[in-house]
Structure 1
């Protein structure tokens, strides 16, 4: 595919049909040819922000594979545009496509802080870590202006409630002041996602994320502030980044990461079609090889929903990845214990201030 036809700054290169819609539409070749001849874009690439006001904000996580009990997502959709993102499928529940719509139509939960505070003050709630974000990144670009995630962190601090964070955006450095206070009472842990040490790989896989340099800097600054930080190499994609396991673990360990984790790519639901279209356009020379290797990891299919195997895969490739991580951890990391956050303080702060009697 010519460079002129590739949508720069976006991961997905098309909008796939929403499985919940009765009707679907497609772009015909004659329309695309017309756009090319007229110098017009077949898809509007500008991001739109859609305000929502949900009735609840804290979600119970039932999957045994993800290592969290509760999650909170202030945003739905994600402008980062990571081509492999499992969260793309969730955009269909809002009536949009898992493809370009996921990156361009960002739903903002304007009453997120109010709902969290209501939850933390409720009599029936007992403190358990709530993770920002289990689905879409809480530090995606719009957060710079809206500061919803910062307000949520301040709410967790006010009520002395444990919170976990997952992000691949260096914007988290803005909130180091709040994170330091939370860390003093062992109320926070952070996972930074770093898929590759190569900027060219990052740019094509995750077009609107923070650079690798900024993410490594973020790991180091969090560690220096005594905020427990884990690095997630997620996902590992065969023939794209699996050769980087050892150097990546070494690098993040030197920056102060306490733990490393990983997942292997899985292309569930609409993501299979989106990823296949993307790799044939972005990496045509190796597309078939990568797709066949992913199928071999997941029992002959791009789509794998089996609990217990879907995150790590199976077969020879999966075994090799597991072995490499085992060796890397032994060589470069000393603290492999998952940080246990403090759930004991919250009961004394349910009204927003410590009980004196």
Structure 2
């Protein structure tokens, strides 16, 4: 009888480990999609999730290990290794080092969420950041009605025309303590706004970005077409370029690869994540980003205070690169 119970226990343990290993195939597929470099829309959707899935897989593997299910634990550790390799380009982009004694320009970028009416939280977040340049997308009706209060201290401004969508109306904004020139706006549903800021590190082309949502929410080529339009706009720019805003894609997926390979751009480090803001940082995805040309260096990247939006703002300190 005792041996029979042992055999039943052993079979149950094998069954449990088989179920757990099968469950780990989901994180494995996400790691494989991220590492594959395949740009197909179905693969790209999976490639958006390695960061939050890494955190969940760490927790799951720890629990499995505490239960002494060693085979499943070993599989979990292998999947974790692949997930870490997949997400590492988001966290460590390998941009240029900062030149010693270079001035610093602080840039704040936020998706305010069009239906957000918490102007007080927006203003508090902007004041806490104490940025020199701010880039705002999904600038809805509430902040537009309080624009002078919200952008107080930023006398140089570029604001797109009001674009009415099915459920809301939005603008995009660049506001600066430094003079702005060579302005350009594209007033479609996902606006691009661009201006050259005369900063202590020299003229900088600042581009506010809001790419469309990825497939299956929008047509599959939408993000790619908009990204190529961005690169056409910045191609040959005589000044350093900074693209900031909501890219609706993580840096290690196909849009990030496109911007790096075709535009030779670098992104700021992407941890902790920015969306959805209600979740803890390790469970968020970094879809709100700052990309820059190699003649600019990022001295620091952090998140701004909540604005009432489902996105967290990003704050970067820009400087000259070391020789």
Query: Structures share a fold, TM > 0.5?
Result: no
TM-score by length of 2: 0.31
Whichever structure has more strand as a proportion of its residues is 2
TM-score by length of 1: 0.28
Q: Which has the higher contact order (CA 8 A, sep 6+)?
A: 2
Which has the higher Rg, Structure 1 or Structure 2? 2
